[in-house]
Chains A and B, each alone.
Chain A
């Protein structure tokens, strides 16, 4: 009983401290003190660094076929062995960081931008709202990966198709979030006074509504990024993703599965990189949610 009330008290004080802190020191100060942000951020930075420095990281051409060196074990020449076409697994996995981060970032940016635009308009224009939200309900009723599979099956495998196919099912989540913020903010006194002062709609959206969406959207973008990396690898694994020659972790696992019982590394090595990257971004996202939105983090 006493422990319980202590926890409650600590929580209330904790929130106050946190908000006071935020005013005094800002986001970065808090972020550097949050173990999840530091850990997740570090993991993401390593992947990012590897992705940028891929050509310098002792890699060879990830697409180079070498039929005389098929399915070689781990050795000094091929650190992670070679695949069934004799391609160097280490180089393919390192270049896979580029593929994953590129897909993850593109989807996060695209989904946030499109969702923000639709959400702002839907939240402010009643006429649009009813129609847009019915469409969003419909989109959300289709399991995302299945919708993506159908889209890729229709337009063929390419970077553009895959990114677009992963983005579309994610848009409703962003729209709902933005719309709910708009609906709350538009009742705030400062928005009412801005309207009374004669500020026009674009001005209100830009100056008063948009800033309120930034923190939740940053958190959402990190989850969108990790989920996009996962979905890309799933799509590639299922054969509805990136073209087979592109070094993507999902493609490598799809190729390695045939040889899994003899060479488990062909599945486990790309799988390990995939899992750690997604884990890093999710930890970072959880940490940012705690710092940026203490109200939710109290219970989450």
Chain B
């Protein structure tokens, strides 16, 4: 197992290098002068020169890339143009709300989605199944910020059950934390549930046609036991794959949700950086999120080996 994990770990290094190269190349491949765009309309020549210097645009790009990789390896994501703070420090300061949001969302979404998907597959082609599928299509088409405002309108303004916006840390107590987190997490959950329920249903339907399901039924195993231990256990690999892949959805979604609900997370940092044209921060956040995404998918890869003992690379 250790050798397997080490091998998967090594395999992520080239992917991370390509990610770093792509993000780095953006600066050099962009038509026009990014320094002028970043400096904004009222910039002086000095401002533009300073930004060009800071982004390393006047150095040959291979030299700059190697230096930048060296910095990355030490965890240095650059310095904010606006606040002169290290980007990595800015991200760490903002990590808590984002992580809270992501984890709460997963806690709500994964069990709900798997439940809906399994029920949909068990009741295939009945109105229950059609209802689940309808929810999946609508949930997948619903723009996340529109949904967010609908929930705010209903639960925070009309019914006045929860605060409209803002974040309470879990250290301030579980009650305030949940009250501040429930709407954002629900908003982010919907698209996640829609996607995951659909995949769960599909892979369950495939598995339920297998011979061992028929054997289990012939042995007289209860239907619910068959669904969970024979069906879901074998449908787990595609489901876990989608959980890994939809981390990207969770990441992009958290940026939007943090904007709608004014949560002081990493997404909010990114949005503020867009408004201030603080490119080092934008670049740092994109890189950090991409690496996180690669890392989560590495975990998923490793989880395969536990879920399905046949898988060995």
Q: Are B279 and A134 in contact (CB under 8 A)?
A: no
Question: B18, B125, B259: which contacts A237 (Cβ < 8 A)?
Answer: B259
Provide the residues of chain B in CB contact with A109, threshold 8 Å.
none
B26 at the interface (CB under 8 A from A): yes
Tell me if B's interface is mostly helix, strand, loop or mixed: helix
Interface residues of A in 110-154 (CB under 8 A from B): 134-135, 137-139, 141-147, 149-151, 153-154
A26 at the interface (CB under 8 A from B): no
In the complex, residue of chain A having the shortest beta-carbon distance to the beta carbon of B208: A4
B278-292 vs A, Cβ < 8 Å mask (1 yes, 0 no)? 010011011001100
Among the stretches B2-10, B62-70, B248-256, B302-310, the one at the interface with A is B248-256
Question: A144, A146, A233, A267: which contacts B285 (Cβ < 8 A)?
Answer: A146
Q: How far is the CA of A155 from the CA of B125 in the complex (A)?
A: 49
A154 and B255 contact, Cβ closer than 8 Å, known pairs A264-B149, A278-B141? no
Q: Are A141 and B205 in contact (CB under 8 A)?
A: no
Provide the residues of chain A in CB contact with B125, threshold 8 Å.
7
Q: Are B271 and A239 in contact (CB under 8 A)?
A: yes
Q: Are A267 and B279 in contact (CB under 8 A)?
A: no
Chain A interface residues toward B at CB < 8 A? 1, 4, 7-8, 134-135, 137-139, 141-147, 149-151, 153-156, 226, 230, 233-234, 237-240, 253, 257, 260-261, 264, 267-268, 271-272, 274-275, 278-279, 282-283, 286, 299-300
Chain B interface residues toward A at CB < 8 A? 14-19, 21-23, 26-27, 30-32, 34, 37-38, 124-125, 137-138, 140-146, 149-150, 152-153, 157, 164, 198, 202, 205-206, 208-209, 217, 248, 251-252, 255-256, 259-260, 270-271, 273-275, 277, 279, 282-283, 285-286, 289-290, 293-294, 297
User: In the complex, given contacts A145-B255, A238-B274, A275-B142, what are 12 additional A-B residue pairs having Cβ atoms less than 8 angstroms apart?
Assistant: A142-B19, A147-B22, A150-B23, A150-B26, A239-B275, A253-B149, A260-B152, A261-B157, A264-B153, A274-B146, A275-B141, A286-B137
